[in-house]
Structure 1
Amino acid sequence: MNTTKTPRAIIIGGSLGGLFAATSLRAIGWDVDVFERSPHELDSRGGGVVLQPDVLAAFRFAGIVHSSALGVQSGDRIYLNRDDRVIQRQFMPQTQTSWNMLYGAMKRALPAEMVHAGEEFTRFEQEGDRIHAHFASGRVETGDLLIGADGARSSVRKQVMPGHDPSYAGYVAWRGLVPESRLPADAAAVLGGTFAFQQGLGHLMLEYMVPGEDESTTKGERRWNWVWYRKVGAGANLSDLLTDRDGVRHAFSLPPGAPKDSDIAEMHQASRDFLAPTFQRLVEATDEPFVQAILDLQVPQMVYGRVILLGDSAFVPRPHTAGSTAKAAANAVALAQALRADGADVDKSLAHWQAGQLRQGIGMTTWGMSIGDRIMNIHPIGAPSEEE
């Protein structure tokens, strides 16, 4: 690489993983450009996120200053039974944030001209220590590093590892976000200030509060975030669930407004059959529930010359680990630290980075599979440690 020029990273994917990479590399003096295939501003369909130390470390590393609290605090962790009785309570303080709060903070930290919407990556070519990225629009960008941060369906991974796709874990997560004021007072009294669970026969419900859509953490302006894990058979059953109200089959998830009325009705009936009354009220107060398949993905390597896989492009941990967002943040900071430590020797930096991040990714995803499989096979109460 010509050390007289500022090194440049081409980042594929404009969600959290891509923004963590962009803000971290900018902090060590790299030029960055982020390319997102969606022509629209990304939305907050991801819902709630448990705020982990790796995320806070990434913000500090990049010098991102947020004017208010990054999340909502909870104190007790409680477990409800079917009759709405609290059968376990433990003081476990933590902070919950939201996808849109993290996204907004990082997006505002980047100059607008560095983020390019509506650019679909198609292929790359490596020429010595230079990488050329091609897009469906005909655009070609050249840099020193190509970062695949485009999630579980990564187009970058499809080129370096064709056929290596995520596998379905056997269950889905129904999710919802409810404005704080929408929940009836009796239910709010049970859930307020808690991280709440209900473990059932082959299902798990959980709830915690997150900032509002406008990132507000002010009481009355926040949102209740809930996730309900339910078994759905692979094949026709899953395919039908992931077919939206317009008849379009989606790969892994349906955003708010897309699930069919019949599927929402079935989910509501199941909530009346299996959930505690407090959780039933939470589900009933949700305008647009959405659903995502739970996936597993592990890659044997993350570096392919001057191309790397970061975040969910490389490893998709089960949500019970609360690790997806934190893992992307840790990947990004470790990458920047390695590149800064080794100076102009990019290839040496990438080798060092992969050695640590590959081991951690395999460990986290393997652990998550074990937790999830036990939960969905009637694991004793107390199994889930964190959620995202």
Structure 2
Amino acid sequence: MTSRYEGARAAVIGGSIGGLTTALLLRDLGFSVEVFERTPTPLDGRGGGIVLQPDTVRWFTERSTQSLDALSTATEYVQYLGRDNGIVHRDRRRWTHTSWGTFYRGLLADFGTDHYHLGEFACGVAQEAERATVRFVSGRRAEAELVVFADGITSTGRPLLDPGARLEYSGYIGWRGTVPEHELSGTTRALLGDAISYSVVPHSHITLYPIPGERGTGPRERLMNYVWYRNVPAGEELAEMLIDKRGFTGTVSLHPGQVQDRYVEDMREAASRLLAPAAAEVVAATEHPFIQVVSDIRSTRMADGRVALIGDAAAAARPHAAAGTAKAAADAWALADALAAADGDIPAALRKWEPGQLELSARLLERVVAMGERSQIHNTWTPGDPSLRFGLYGPGR
């Protein structure tokens, strides 16, 4: 299998989880792979929690020598909490979780840093019959037989394939944060520690679950992670909220420590007033909560000649199905399969790969939009409804 691509070069634009998964799979096919990450400093420690789905962990279960258990936590239940912390509904359903930083470190350890380049912002691509050339803001150029953009929701590759694709704001944001689990009260630890927990209130809901900390998965290292969805109208109110403490305006997120204090104070007060007490305790204990702007975008194309888009670069969907990293991994594995079957013809492999991944993106986007509207608009997010379960391919799948 590898001999078909021995000597072929691949440039992966974006060094996050999707980009590293792609790079590892392409290297296994025989490509000489270079990864280019726009951020000038290591990505270690960024982001919050990830619910692990089969596609996400497939590298570690099939190819890596690392133990997935060392990178993840597990819970046995999915539960809904009432206003008094009573359990309104509970299903026995096992899920595993990780933190963004833990999973990223695991993938980077397998790929290595010799061909991983920080501070390289791709700004253009030119294609010829036999190769493509990526141009970077730094003046650097990279020639490759295959270019994969895995550079997220603000991808510079997406406009090259679909100039008409635009971010569409959902009407709500996600407040995110983590708290060391051992700092929570014993009652809250006991209630939340073995479950994915929801607190559903009118036009809003919060999801919480434990994840590994930076130093491990033990009781003193674990973090309680959450995302709380709150409606914020587009326009002046949202624009003002997205000005950070430095005076810069965010478009898709505000980083920990950069959200204006008045908004953090308002969020904490609302949590104590609206959420189940255990959820409110976690929110109140968060030292530096941060904001994710919940938006949708989907390119109508994922391939052009020798250039491909994967993950959020191709389609970014709301987090309600916990499928963002799973979708990026699924795109990468499907791409590797198409290349392996193409007998060295890269453009033909991309043409074969594209329709199925476009369809998967469309189905996922349709489902998470409907899920979000049930919570934030229609108040029909019903505890225990099986259609609300996580899953890339459908509820629970």
1:376 match: secondary structure = helix
Match of 2:23 in 1: 22
Match of 2:260 in 1: 260
2:70 match: secondary structure = coil
Shift of 1:361: 1.2
Shift of 1:89: 1.5
The aligned amino acid for 2:37 is: E
The aligned amino acid for 1:372 is: G
**Alignment pair present for 1:219 and 2:228:** no
Match of 1:302 in 2: 302
CA RMSD of the aligned region, Å? 1.8
Gaps in structure 1 of 5+ consecutive residues: none
- Normalization by structure 2: what TM-score? 0.93
In 2, are the aligned partners of 1:119 and 1:135 still within 8 Å (CA)?
Answer: yes
CA–CA distance in structure 2, aligned partners of residues 60 and 90 of structure 1: 26
CA–CA distance in structure 1, aligned partners of residues 179 and 375 of structure 2: 25
In 2, are the aligned partners of 1:197 and 1:205 still within 8 Å (CA)?
Answer: yes
Note the 1:1-388 alignment, pairs <5 A: 6-63=7-64, 65-66=66-67, 68-214=69-215, 216-377=216-377, 378-379=379-380, 380-383=382-385, 384-386=388-390
In 2, are the aligned partners of 1:27 and 1:62 still within 8 Å (CA)?
Answer: no
In 1, are the aligned partners of 2:15 and 2:116 still within 8 Å (CA)?
Answer: yes
Describe the superposition over 1:245-278 as per-residue Cα deviations: whole angstroms up to 9, x where unpaired. Answer: 1111011101111101011011011112211111
Shift of 1:213: 1.5
CA–CA distance in structure 2, aligned partners of residues 201 and 257 of structure 1: 28
CA–CA distance in structure 1, aligned partners of residues 286 and 336 of structure 2: 40
Shift of 1:152: 0.6
Q: Greater shift after overlay, 376-385 or 332-341?
A: 376-385
Describe the superposition over 1:144-182 as per-residue Cα deviations: whole angstroms up to 9, x where unpaired. Answer: 111111001001112332242221111111011111211
Shift of 1:322: 1.0
Gaps in structure 2 of 5+ consecutive residues: 393-397
Shift of 1:69: 3.0
Kindly tell me: are residues 387 and 232 of structure 1, through their superposed partners in 2, closer, same or farther at Cα, counting changes over 3 Å? Answer: farther
CA–CA distance in structure 1, aligned partners of residues 269 and 290 of structure 2: 16
The aligned amino acid for 1:126 is: Q
CA–CA distance in structure 2, aligned partners of residues 367 and 72 of structure 1: 27
Matched residues, number: 386
Describe the superposition over 1:217-250 as per-residue Cα deviations: whole angstroms up to 9, x where unpaired. Answer: 1222111001111111111111112111111101
2:157 match: secondary structure = helix
- Normalization by structure 1: what TM-score? 0.95
2:114 match: secondary structure = helix
Identity of aligned residues (%): 37
CA–CA distance in structure 1, aligned partners of residues 361 and 5 of structure 2: 35
